[in-house]
Chain A
Amino acid sequence: MKPAGFGQQDVPFFNRSFFRSLVPITRIGNGELGGKARGLVLIRDMLASHFDAKNFPGIEVYVPKMVVLATDVFDAFMERNGLLETAFSDLADDHMAETFQRADLPTEILGDLRALAEEARTPLAIRSSSLLEDELFRPFAGVYETKMLPNNQPDVDTRFRKLVEAIKFVYASTYFNNAKSYIRATDRTSADEKMAIIIQEVVGRRHDERFYPDVSGVGRSYNFFPASGSTPKDGVVNLALGLGKTIVDGGASWIYTPARPRAPMPFNSVRDILKLTQLAFWAVNMGRPPAYNPIAETEYLIQADLAAASYDDTLSAVASTYVANRDRFLPGTAHSGPRAIDFAPLLAYGNIPFNEAIRELLSISEQALKDAVEIEFAMDLSDIAHVRLGFLQLRPMLVSEKEVEIRDEELATAGVLLASNRAIGNGTLDTIRDIVYVRPERFEARLTPRIAVELETVNRALLEKNRPYLLLGFGRWGSSDPWLGIPVEWGQISGAGVIVESTLPDMNVEPSQGAHFFHNLISFEVPYLCVAYDNTEGARTRKIDWDWLNFQPALTETNLLRHVCLEQPLLVKVDGRTGRGAVWRTQVAEENAHS
């Protein structure tokens, strides 16, 4: 019989001396823990039973201390404040958030939260841990909000108040429009969703007015874009300086394959390296209080540049320096010169068995989930002899094993609308008749935010009619940087059945496999094809038949977008083994099939 102090999954109940104890995970409430929290509990158990720290001297892998507010707390909050009607209404996100701020948290948890506010003196991350994420085995990546708190106010009342505001904000995000659209695409409804909340220490250390980890990372045991010489099962890791928001928002990060940590990224020039590697990083703002805005996710986040990192002395372990007279990058910052964040000191020197630890974590995670996996982590390198690697998340990846063949002759037919040798997904789709695309002649990088807004409207209409569509645009879909691509949230294009990224000369960026957008792409098994705009001789990718596309009559048309609906559905095929994919106009495809 379990002692009175333990709940489901052997997660003990929160004790008000929590922060003085060695217990990494506790719970408040008796309900479910949600997908993210359950993943962390699994990590806790995995590290205890399968990770032999002796093999990785100098690295401590741990789960940062956390408390989970179980789903029954959410239920009580919603019911006692009469919020369900509001939640399912069409209220705008900010009004939804404000309504939730005015509601009261359940009395029975307030004392524990206050004790937490009294004891915790490090920044905290208030993270969503959704029930549907657990049930549907989907990452729900980037769907709900996370709030970072500096937790450095001297007055406990203020810290408590901020904690309460953050919890209410994450609760409210369950019913933001983006989340509702996302859930709709899973054939469930928001009524099925319940939210647990993780209150977790942020990994990192303080540098003046910034708090951040030296390294954040996302590792995947399956790589959809293996470089030559690597296989998909070699995996891929994205690394960034500062908070992992850089990676999950699709910003510039360092990408490498764990099997070949020293292989350089395929940049063509020094200029490219300096321009396309990470130039800014996210941190928790520990300085002057920002404008009060409890309903903004980024209320306590700041973005800083490499000069700030240099001032904080956090570049030496993660950057290389371009030494002009040798025309090469040297790991570290011992020399003067422009810096590029390439994590060479960490990956090339091997003083710390970092890569080995990552490989081991990916391996044992795969064994535990019996599936390809994605992990998130953050590292504090303040004591180089004792590096602390916080394991932040574990989720399964969906990798299809179906066999799909695309012959060379098929790609040479006149019916090809577009084709690519950089495709993700695996399978055949022959039901899509709608195409929504960004008008190439009107496209400008400065207009990408407007495109995202217009797309949301089109998406909602098609989603309601249950008409998946082929989405075609320029640059990286879902990029947080509007100059790198179209900054859509998944919920704004959740009805897309196929997504095509057409590159441009100045928007030719490797897809970020660590980004939330990418997660959802894989999770919803939406085929993705990357196509070059121009038919460059000898290029790896093929052109798009823009002439045919523009010739089709438009169902709706704006300055920036065009929506056409075909009489015959398209045929989409993607071979996940080779990364080949193509889209045909069906009638011609049928003719080809019979020829």
Chain B
Amino acid sequence: MAYKPYNSFSIAQTQFDGAAKILGLDEATSDLLRNPMREYAFAIPIRMDDGKNCIFRGFRVQHNDARGPCKGGIRFHPQETQDTVRALSMWMTWKCAVVDLPLGGAKGGVICDPHNLSDHEQEQICRGWVRQMARNVGPNTDVPAPDVMTTPQHMLWMLDEFEGITGAKVPGFITGKPVGIGGSLGRTEATGYGVIFTVREALKDMNIRASNTTASVQGFGNVAQHAIRLYEQLGGTTVCVSCWDQKDRTSYAYHKADGIRIDELLSIADRFGGIDKTRAADLGYEILSGDDWLKQDVDILIPAALENQINEENVNDISARVKIIAEGANGPTTTGADAVLRARDLVVIPDFLANAGGVTCSYFEQVQSNMNYYWGKDEVLGKLDSKMTAAYLSVSEMVRKRKLYMRDAAYIIAVDRVARACRDRGWV
């Protein structure tokens, strides 16, 4: 795997250590939880379309399954690192635990670039991954899902291979399937909606109505689009959205003082959420530098794109008016920036709580698939609201009771739940 200077796993372990210290975990429990329980690395030989044979490296890290089967995505990326995957698997454990899902955490993937692969080659990789991992994954052990550059189609190929190996129909093996072939209604919206459910509850804590607030969002992908839409339905106004411009190879922020029109922007955006700059200008949007999303004089910031977007260099650009930062992306705030934000009087809803709507809905898909009975959308989204709200309230209560920073409170709740499960099972 390629070398990257930024070490996610170190960060994840540091975060864990902080929670462990507050909880007073013993050495054995700490040692168990700060490292993955199992790691698999394997070769996937593929016959390419041109007849050549290629060997792809696949992997799967299962961090902890004390609370239930592991859950986590499979990504295709040419520059993935082992440490990143370890960190992501650990964060999945905490994410499932903070929302109180009966699941553990895992992550995996294949080192490849699907842009350079035909559909047939991608299919072979998917099936090859399953052949290698079939003994160690399944609806009762480890349930994969889509992730970076994997799609519902990939999930279906994997499901088909798994069913061929096991000789049974097991739609609960994998999530992220298309609706109609085992997928769940509401999944597309779930992550974005989940972010806003937590924002809504945070506003209630502050006795502020959503209709009296404004927001600025980084990113215009799936998470951001649905977050903006639900926020608008609650009465809020999004005044700025930023996204990557593939042509100019930079990001821009699109601003409208009386509120962006989500359908209008969707009509001029590509499938990756890239907004057409020229057409946006024609529609009256002010075009700003991409980083300006952070500087807006709004009540709510929602980073919903990449990691490390709020860092030591720009954290002081955040307006004094901002009351809530809801981390729709994974790891958007660096440790250094987080330290600055702790000292300010605002609420940072940590990523593994704010964006847990996705994994929650994945869990719902898993449950529906295992029952082979699929719920209506009202039911899925109602349950999602209920689950996310309950999770937020637990964390919020911990913040109040122990006067903690929200990220710490969320970690403590999550780690404590996993630690208890390990102890109850007699592992430590």
Asked if residues A114 and B208 are in contact (CB atoms below 8 Å), the reply is no
A291 within 8 A of B: no
- Spot the interface stretch: A102-110, A124-132, A175-183, A421-429: A102-110
Query: In chain B, residues 362-381, which have Cβ atoms closer than 8 Å to a Cβ of chain A?
Result: 376-379, 381
Cβ contacts under 8 Å, A4 to chain B: 207-209, 212
Chain B residue nearest in CB terms to A167? B378
Query: Which residues, 152 to 167 on A, are CB-close (under 8 Å) to B?
Result: 157, 160-161, 164
Closest CB-CB distance, B203 to chain A, in whole Å?
A: 9
User: Chain B, interface size: which category?
Assistant: 20 to 34
Q: Does B382 contact A (CB under 8 A)?
A: yes
Q: Which residue of B lies closest to A117 (CB)?
A: B382
Give A488 to B383 CA distance when docked, in angstroms. 42
Question: Are B377 and A104 touching (Cβ within 8 A)?
Answer: yes
Q: Select the stretch in B171-179, B228-236, B408-416 that faces chain A.
A: B228-236
Are B197 and A111 closer than 8 Å at their CB atoms? yes
Q: Is the CB of B207 within 8 A of A105?
A: no
Instruction: List the A residue with the shortest CB-CB distance to B226.
Output: A107
Cα distance, A338 to B114, chains bound together (Å):
84
User: B386 touching A114 by the CB < 8 A rule?
Assistant: yes
Q: Are A107 and B211 in contact (CB under 8 A)?
A: no
User: Are B382 and A106 in contact, CB atoms less than 8 angstroms apart?
Assistant: no
Answer whether A107 and B208 are a contact pair too, CB < 8 Å, given A115-B386, A164-B378. no
- Chain B's nearest CB lies how many Å from the CB of A116? 10
Q: Is A3 an interface residue (CB 8 A)?
A: yes
* CB proximity to B under 8 Å, residues A81-116: 104-108, 110-111, 113-115
A-B contact count (CB 8 A): 51
What's the Cα separation between A113 and B381 when bound, in Å?
A: 11
Bound state CA distance, A118 and B376, in angstroms? Answer: 18
Q: Which of B209-236 contact A (CB under 8 A)?
A: 209, 211-212, 230, 233-235
Contact call B233/A108, Cβ cutoff below 8 A = yes
Contact, CB under 8 Å: A111 / B389? yes
- Kindly list chain A residues whose C-beta atoms are within 8 Å of the C-beta of B197: 111
Q: Is the CB of A114 within 8 A of B385?
A: yes
Within 8 A of A (CB), among B337-391: 376-379, 381-383, 385-386, 389
Which residue of the partner chain A has the closest CB to B185? A104
Q: CA separation between A30 and B233, bound complex, in Å?
A: 11
- A108 interface neighbour in B209, B212, B230, B376, Cβ under 8 Å: B230
B interface majority secondary structure: helix
State the Cβ distance, B383 to closest chain A Cβ, in Å.
7
Secondary structure of the A contact surface, majority rule: helix
On whether the beta carbons of B379 and A108 are closer than 8 Å, the reply is no
Contact of A30 (CB < 8 Å), options: B230, B235, B385: B235
Decide if A114 touches B207 in the complex (CB within 8 Å): no
Q: Is A368 among interface residues, defined by CB-CB distance under 8 A?
A: no
Q: Is the CB of A157 within 8 A of B233?
A: no
Q: Closest CB of chain B to A282's CB: distance in Å?
A: 29
Contact present for B189 and A107 (CB under 8 Å): yes
Among A104, A108, A113, A118, the one with the most B-chain Cβ atoms within 10 Å of its Cβ is: A108
Which residues of the other chain, B, contact A30 by a CB distance below 8 angstroms?
211, 235
- Residue from B207, B212, B234, B381 in contact with A110 in the complex, judged by beta carbons closer than 8 Å: B381
Q: Would you call B193 an interface residue if the criterion is a C-beta within 8 Å of the partner chain's C-beta atoms? A: yes
Which residue of the partner chain A has the closest CB to B383?
Answer: A114
Say yes or no: is A76 at the interface (Cβ < 8 Å to chain B): yes
Question: How near does chain B come to A584, taking the closest CB pair, in angstroms?
Answer: 59
Contact of B233 among A3, A104, A107, A115 (CB under 8 A): A107
Report the separation of the CA atoms of residues A3 and B207 in the bound assembly, to the nearest whole angstrom.
Answer: 8
Whether A105 lies near B378 (C-beta < 8 A) is yes
Note all chain B residues with C-beta closer than 8 A to A106: 233
A107: B residues at CB distance < 8 A: 189, 193, 230, 233, 381, 385
Residues of B within 8 A of A538 (CB): none
Contacts of A114 in B (CB 8 A): 382-383, 385-386
Contact of A5 with B by CB under 8 A: yes
User: Given the complex of chains A and B, what is the CA–CA distance between A114 and B390 in angstroms?
Assistant: 12
A157 neighbours in B (Cβ, 8 Å): 379, 383
Question: In the complex, which residues of chain A have a beta carbon less than 8 angstroms from the beta carbon of B230?
Answer: 107-108
B382, A108: Cβ atoms closer than 8 Å: no
Q: Is the CB of A108 within 8 A of B386?
A: no
Contact of A76 with B233 at beta-carbon distance under 8 Å, contacts A4-B207, A111-B385, A111-B386 already known: yes
A1-27 with Cβ < 8 A to chain B: 3-5, 16
Q: Name A279-332 residues within 8 Å CB distance of B.
A: none
- Compute how far the CA of A110 lies from the CA of B386 in the bound complex, rounded to whole angstroms: 9
Q: In the complex, what's the smallest C-beta–C-beta distance from A325 to chain B, in angstroms?
A: 62
Task: Write the chain B residue with the least CB distance to A106.
Answer: B233
Residues of A within 8 A of B378 (CB): 104-105, 110, 161, 164
CB distance from A20 to the nearest CB of B (A): 15
B residues less than 8 Å from A160 (CB atoms): 379, 382
Alpha-carbon separation in the docked complex, A76 to B189 (Å):
17
Chain B residues closer than 8 Å to A110, beta-carbon distance: 378, 381-382, 385
Encode B218-259 as 1/0 by CB contact (under 8 A) with A. 000000000000100111000000000000000000000000
Give the shortest distance, in Å, between B229 (CB) and chain A (any CB): 9
Min Cβ gap B234→A in Å is 5
| Closest Cβ–Cβ distance, residue A141 to chain B (whole Å) | 30
Q: Is the CB of B234 within 8 A of A108?
A: yes
Q: State how many angstroms separate the Cβ of B405 from the closest Cβ of chain A.
A: 25
Instruction: Tell me, rounded to whole Å, the shortest Cβ–Cβ distance linking B162 to chain A.
Output: 29
**In the complex, A114 Cα to B381 Cα: how many Å?**
10
- Quick one: which of A114, A160, A161 has the most chain B CB within 10 A? A114
A106 to B235, CA, bound (A): 13
Name the distance in Å between A532's Cβ and chain B's nearest Cβ.
55
Greatest chain A CB density within 10 A among B207, B233, B386, B389 is at B386
A438 to B376 CA separation, bound complex (whole angstroms): 48
Chain B residues with Cβ below 8 Å from A161 are 376, 378-379
- Kindly report which residue of chain B lies nearest to residue A80, judged by CB atoms: B233
> Please, which residues of chain A bring their CB within 8 A of the CB of B212?
4
Residues of the A chain whose Cβ atoms lie less than 8 Å from the Cβ of B379: 157, 160-161, 164
- Tell me the complex Cα distance, A107–B386, Å: 12
For residue B274, give the distance in angstroms from its CB to the closest CB of chain A: 26
On whether the beta carbons of A111 and B207 are closer than 8 Å, the reply is no
- Known contacts A4-B208, A110-B382, A114-B385; can you find 12 more A-B pairs with CB under 8 A? A104-B377, A105-B378, A106-B233, A107-B193, A107-B230, A110-B378, A110-B381, A111-B197, A160-B379, A160-B382, A164-B378, A164-B379
**3 residue pairs, one from A and one from B, having the closest CB atoms:** A111-B385, A110-B382, A114-B382
Question: Could you list some 18 contacts between A and B, CB below 8 A?
Answer: A3-B207, A4-B207, A16-B389, A76-B233, A104-B377, A105-B378, A107-B230, A108-B230, A108-B234, A110-B378, A111-B389, A114-B386, A115-B386, A118-B386, A157-B379, A157-B383, A160-B379, A161-B376
Residues of B within 8 A of A (CB): 189, 193, 197, 207-209, 211-212, 230, 233-235, 376-379, 381-383, 385-386, 389
Binding site for B on A (CB under 8 A): 3-5, 16, 30, 76, 104-108, 110-111, 113-115, 118, 157, 160-161, 164
